[in-house]
Structure 1
Amino acid sequence: MNFFEQQDHARRQTRTLIILFTLAVIAIVAAVNIAMALVWSWTQTGYVPGMRAYPKGFFATNTAITLALIAGGTLIEMFNLRDGGDAVAKMAGGRLVAPSSTDVQERRLLNVVEEMALASGIACPKVYVMDREDAINAFAAGYNQDEAVVTVTRGALTRLTRDELQGVIGHEFSHILNGDMRLNIRLIGLLFGIQMIAGFGQHLMDFGSSMWGARNRDDKGPSGRAILFVTGLALLAIGYIGIFFGRLIKAAVSRQREFLADASAVQFTRNPDGIGGALRKIGGLSRSMQLGSRIQHPNAEQLSHLFLGAPRTSLTSGLFSTHPPIQERLRRIYGRSVDVLDAPELPGDVASPDARLADIPYAATGFAEAERPSHWVAFGSEEYEARTLPPEIDSAVREPHAACAMVYALLLGEAERDTQLGILEKEAPQQASLVPFLAEAIGRLPKSARLPLLDLAMPALKQLPDSAKDALLATADRLIAADNKLTLAEFVLQTVLTRRLDPHAGRATPVRYARLEMLKEDCKVLLSLIAHVAAPGAGVPASALFANGAKRCEELALSASDLKPVAALDYAQVKIALDHAHQLAPLAKPALIKALLAAAGDSDPMPLATADLLRAICAALEAPVPPAVAATYTNYHWDQV
Structure 2
Amino acid sequence: MNFFEHQHQARRQTRTLIILFVLAVIAIVIAVNVAMTMIWSLSQGGYSSHPDFYPKGFFATNTLVTLALIGVGTLIETFNLRDGGEAVAKMAGGRLVSPASQDLQERRLLNVVEEMAIAAGIACPRVYVLDKEDAINAFAAGHNQNEAVVAVTRGTLNRLTRDELQGVVAHEFSHILNGDMRLNIHLISVLFGIQMIAGFGQHLMHFGARVRTARDSNDKGLSAQVILLAIGFALFVIGYIGIIFGRLIKSAVSRQREFLADASAVQFTRNADGIGGALRKIGGLSRTMESGSRIRHPNAEQLSHLFLGAPRPVLFGGWFSTHPPMKERLRRIYGRHVEPLDAPEMASGYAGNTETLPDIPYVAAGLAASDASLSSVAFGNDAERQEPLPQELASAVREPQAACCVVYALLLGSDDERRAQFALLQADMPQRLSFIVFLADAIARLPQSARLPLLDLAMPALKQLKGDERAKLLTTVDRLIAADNRIVLAEFVLQTVLTRRLGMHAGRATPIRYNRLGVIRDDCVALASLLAHVAASAMNEMPAQAFMRGAAHDPELGLSAADLVDVRALGFERVKTALDHANELAPLVKPALIKLLLAIAGGREPMPVALADLLRAICAAIDAPIPPAVAATYTAYHW
Secondary structure of the equivalent of 1:155? helix
Q: Equivalents in 2 of 1:358, 1:183: separation in Å?
A: 35
What is aligned with 1:555?
Answer: 556
* 1:80 and 2:60 are equivalent in the alignment: no
TM-score after normalising by structure 1: 0.94
Cα offset, 1:567, TM superposition = 2.6
What is aligned with 2:521?
Answer: 520
1:212-270: per-residue Cα shift (whole Å, max 9, x none)?
353797x4794322322222122111111121122112023211111000000000000
Residues 399, 67 of structure 1: CA spacing in aligned structure 2 closer, same or farther, 3 A cutoff?
same
What is aligned with 2:373?
Answer: none
Matched residue count: 626
Do the aligned residues in 1 keep the contact of 2:161 with 2:349 (CA within 8 Å)? no
Q: Equivalents in 1 of 2:322, 2:49: separation in Å?
A: 43
Alignment RMSD (CA, Å): 2.3
* 1:167 and 2:164 are equivalent in the alignment: no
Letter in 2 for 1:450: R
What is aligned with 1:371?
Answer: none
Do the aligned residues in 2 keep the contact of 1:550 with 1:557 (CA within 8 Å)? yes
Q: Equivalents in 1 of 2:333, 2:8: separation in Å?
A: 25
Do the aligned residues in 2 keep the contact of 1:517 with 1:556 (CA within 8 Å)? yes
Letter in 2 for 1:548: R
Q: Equivalents in 2 of 1:345, 1:145: separation in Å?
A: 32
Identity percentage of aligned residues: 69
Letter in 2 for 1:597: L
Worse-superposed segment, 100-109 or 181-190 = 181-190
Do the aligned residues in 2 keep the contact of 1:552 with 1:591 (CA within 8 Å)? no
Do the aligned residues in 2 keep the contact of 1:402 with 1:431 (CA within 8 Å)? no
Cα offset, 1:50, TM superposition = 3.9
Letter in 2 for 1:294: R
1:410-451: per-residue Cα shift (whole Å, max 9, x none)?
001121223212212333345333101111111111111100
Secondary structure of the equivalent of 2:504? coil
Q: Equivalents in 2 of 1:152, 1:103: separation in Å?
A: 15
Worse-superposed segment, 140-149 or 348-357 = 348-357
Secondary structure of the equivalent of 1:322? coil
* 1:292 and 2:292 are equivalent in the alignment: yes
Q: Equivalents in 2 of 1:207, 1:105: separation in Å?
A: 50
Q: Equivalents in 2 of 1:35, 1:216: separation in Å?
A: 28
Residues 349, 63 of structure 1: CA spacing in aligned structure 2 closer, same or farther, 3 A cutoff?
closer
Cα offset, 1:573, TM superposition = 1.0
Residues 430, 22 of structure 1: CA spacing in aligned structure 2 closer, same or farther, 3 A cutoff?
farther
Q: Equivalents in 1 of 2:357, 2:433: separation in Å?
A: 39
What is aligned with 1:48?
Answer: 47
Q: Equivalents in 2 of 1:220, 1:316: separation in Å?
A: 44
Residues 43, 435 of structure 1: CA spacing in aligned structure 2 closer, same or farther, 3 A cutoff?
same
1:296-342: per-residue Cα shift (whole Å, max 9, x none)?
11111111111111111122321121111111100100011111111
What is aligned with 2:260?
Answer: 260
Aligned 1:76-475 pairs, distance under 5 A: 76-211=76-211, 212-214=213-215, 219=219, 222-348=222-348, 350=350, 354-356=354-356, 362-363=363-364, 365-366=366-367, 386-414=386-414, 415-429=416-430, 431-475=432-476
Do the aligned residues in 1 keep the contact of 2:380 with 2:637 (CA within 8 Å)? no
Q: Equivalents in 2 of 1:114, 1:122: separation in Å?
A: 10
Do the aligned residues in 2 keep the contact of 1:213 with 1:224 (CA within 8 Å)? no
Q: Equivalents in 1 of 2:522, 2:294: separation in Å?
A: 53
What is aligned with 2:568?
Answer: 567
1:543-563: per-residue Cα shift (whole Å, max 9, x none)?
111111012212101122211
Letter in 2 for 1:47: G
Do the aligned residues in 1 keep the contact of 2:606 with 2:636 (CA within 8 Å)? no
Residues 398, 215 of structure 1: CA spacing in aligned structure 2 closer, same or farther, 3 A cutoff?
same
Residues 470, 357 of structure 1: CA spacing in aligned structure 2 closer, same or farther, 3 A cutoff?
closer
Aligned 1:598-613 pairs, distance under 5 A: 598-613=599-614
Worse-superposed segment, 260-269 or 199-208 = 199-208
Cα offset, 1:271, TM superposition = 0.2
Q: Equivalents in 1 of 2:418, 2:380: separation in Å?
A: 34
Residues 216, 543 of structure 1: CA spacing in aligned structure 2 closer, same or farther, 3 A cutoff?
farther
Residues 338, 469 of structure 1: CA spacing in aligned structure 2 closer, same or farther, 3 A cutoff?
same
Q: Equivalents in 2 of 1:221, 1:395: separation in Å?
A: 70
Letter in 1 for 2:401: H
What is aligned with 1:624?
Answer: 625
Secondary structure of the equivalent of 2:127? strand
Q: Equivalents in 2 of 1:130, 1:109: separation in Å?
A: 13
Letter in 2 for 1:179: G
Cα offset, 1:636, TM superposition = 8.7
Q: Equivalents in 1 of 2:563, 2:339: separation in Å?
A: 61
Residues 31, 142 of structure 1: CA spacing in aligned structure 2 closer, same or farther, 3 A cutoff?
same
Q: Which runs of 4+ in 1 moved over 4 A?
A: 351-354, 357-361, 379-386, 634-638
TM-score after normalising by structure 2: 0.94
Secondary structure of the equivalent of 1:316? coil
Q: Equivalents in 1 of 2:23, 2:50: separation in Å?
A: 25
Letter in 2 for 1:48: Y
1:446-505: per-residue Cα shift (whole Å, max 9, x none)?
111100000000000000001000000000110111100000110001001111100213
What is aligned with 1:494?
Answer: 495
Q: Equivalents in 1 of 2:624, 2:365: separation in Å?
A: 23
Aligned 1:4-15 pairs, distance under 5 A: 4-15=4-15
Do the aligned residues in 1 keep the contact of 2:133 with 2:153 (CA within 8 Å)? yes
Q: Equivalents in 2 of 1:383, 1:316: separation in Å?
A: 57
What is aligned with 1:375?
Answer: none
Letter in 2 for 1:164: E
1:373-414: per-residue Cα shift (whole Å, max 9, x none)?
xxxxxx999979753111110000000000001000000112
Secondary structure of the equivalent of 2:75? helix
1:50-104: per-residue Cα shift (whole Å, max 9, x none)?
4642222211111110000000000011011111110110011100000000000
Letter in 2 for 1:142: G
